[in-house]
Amino acid sequence: MEIRFEDLIGNAGMEKRVIRECQAGQGGVTTCGGGGGRGSEGKEPMQETVSQETVFEAHLKIRTMKQEVEENEEKNYEEEEEKAEKEEDEEKEKEEKEEEEEQEEKEEEMEEEKEEEEKVKDN
């Protein structure tokens, strides 16, 4: 059920109206005031008058929920960003290790070549 708050102009905003809209019945568009079924099209929706305090509480809850959603979205974004940075750092470390290993292998090869050259010179 969808609740729609409708601001009405009058006596300093002491009361607000809440219009509750129901889903369509068999006969087409049906409102809560229509009672459902066939032939209820065109009837006015049921209206209730609620206090300013109730409307304020509802707006406050909505605002709080929106703020929580925004905070959660921001938190999720930051976590994803940190995860991406961590993966990037891990990839860099992996590449650096590979480069170091390659460099060590080259140095070992050069040392072996030098040793072989020295053996050839000695003989």
Task: Determine the pLDDT at residue 106.
Answer: 94
pLDDT > 60? residue 14 = no
Q: What is the pLDDT of residues 42-79, one digit of tens each?
A: 555 556 677 888 888 899 999 999 999 999 999 999 99
Task: Determine the pLDDT at residue 84.
Answer: 96
Indicate the domain borders of the chain: 2-92
Instruction: For residue 16, give every residue at least 6 positions away whose Cβ sits within 8 Å of its Cβ, in sequence order, or none.
Output: 5, 6, 7, 8, 49, 50, 52, 55
